[in-house]
Structure 1
Amino acid sequence: MNRKSWLIIIFSILHLSACSRNNRTASIELSGLNYKEVGIAEFSVDGSNGHSIFPNGGGGAFVCCITIQRTWHAGMKVNVRWIEDAKLLGPWKKRVVEVPKYTEHEIGIFAVHFYPDDTVKVLVTTKIIGHPDYPYPRPN
């Protein structure tokens, strides 16, 4: 084989190995839902920035992107940080949150739910709040 053939083979192998690494993750949109009486001025998940959320609002805005593993594994967690009330900008609140099981077919958006007691739940889903199978209903 000549040098050009070897270069083509090496380039092809490198290209295929890069693609296989990229197939292990997915970049999906990030969305927040706020069930608190105070707004969320800013939030992030593992360093990916979300949007501001009005009190008792959210779910309609999406920010690109957060990178997740295509294959869920037990013990998968994310770091969620947020600041409440855009007027006062208090200290960052932080939670380490377990990611519930998902399949590759459920990879659509990464939803972050903020509750009045500072509990945070996350979800990888293709469903929107209000769907009968959505696991986190809006609290009363």
Structure 2
Amino acid sequence: MNSYFSHKAQLRWWQLLIAILLMAMVSACKPEPKPMTAGITGYNFTREGVQNYSVNEMYGSNLPPYGGGGSLSCCVLLPAKWTPELRATVHWTIGDWTVPYEQIESLSTKEQIRCCWSQRTLTKTVPIEPYGEDGGDLQVFFLPGDEIKVYVSNYGLGHEKHPSGLAYPENPNPPTDKEK
């Protein structure tokens, strides 16, 4: 009798082991979620124009001072699931005129640039803010002090569900009617 129970116990042990191995094989065979493709757009919260920019070597369009959004460039690949170590490398050229345009409008374009154009090219690797399974467009925020924030969202600025909580960029010192 003892050998019968021992044989039965061994059989159950082997069944359990086989079941565990089969479950492990099935779970290992689950495909990883496919990466998502995200369009690139930018928002400029600075007084300088963003002449060009790229995110992970994929180009976005130029952005006026205190402007942006509206158009999408193609594309970056993002993991389907956000992780804390997720980063984006942003490379951009930002610049502006050092004097009011009215002071140099009589000069040739070459003279204007030589005299009064200032630009800088910068690169930063920054975290991508958390995003959900719905993904969205990759949105690059150009902030004062050469700071960058990167969000992934289906919502535009000012929408209550946008993860940044920010409104569309506005010039804090808009030109007066005389200056226009």
TM score, norm. by length of structure 1: 0.77
Q: CA RMSD in A?
A: 2.2
Which whole-Å CA distance do the structure 2 matches of 1:91 and 1:56 have between them? Answer: 18
2:56 is the counterpart of 1:46: yes
Q: Spell out the pairing of 1:87-102 with structure 2 (5 A cutoff).
A: 88=117, 90-102=119-131
Q: CA deviation at 1:92?
A: 1.9
Q: Which runs of 5+ in 1 are unaligned?
A: 1-19
- Report which of the two has the higher share of helix: 2
Residues 24 and 71 in structure 1, CA contact (< 8 A), matched pair in contact too: no
Which whole-Å CA distance do the structure 2 matches of 1:33 and 1:117 have between them? Answer: 15
1:114 to 142, 147, 151: 142
Q: Provide the secondary structure at the position in 1 that maps to 2:145.
A: coil
Structure 1 residues 41 and 89: CA distance shift in structure 2, 3 A? farther
Tell me which structure has the larger Cα radius of gyration.
2
Which whole-Å CA distance do the structure 2 matches of 1:99 and 1:31 have between them? Answer: 14
Q: CA deviation at 1:79?
A: 0.5
Q: Which residue of 2 aligns with 1:14?
A: none
Q: What do residues 58-105 of structure 1 show as CA deviations (whole Å, max 9, x unaligned)?
A: 011111111111111121111011001276473421111101111221
What percentage of aligned pairs have identical amino acids? 26
Which whole-Å CA distance do the structure 2 matches of 1:27 and 1:67 have between them? Answer: 5
Which whole-Å CA distance do the structure 2 matches of 1:91 and 1:54 have between them? Answer: 15
Q: Which runs of 5+ in 2 are unaligned?
A: 1-30, 97-112, 173-180
TM score, norm. by length of structure 2: 0.61
Which residue identity does 1:39 align to in structure 2? Answer: G
Residues 46 and 143 in structure 2, CA contact (< 8 A), matched pair in contact too: yes
2:115 is the counterpart of 1:126: no
2:61 is the counterpart of 1:32: no
Residues 41 and 89 in structure 1, CA contact (< 8 A), matched pair in contact too: no
Which whole-Å CA distance do the structure 1 matches of 2:158 and 2:118 have between them? Answer: 31
Q: Which residue of 2 aligns with 1:66?
A: 76
- Select between 67-76 and 89-98 the one with higher mean Cα deviation: 89-98
Which whole-Å CA distance do the structure 1 matches of 2:129 and 2:136 have between them? Answer: 14
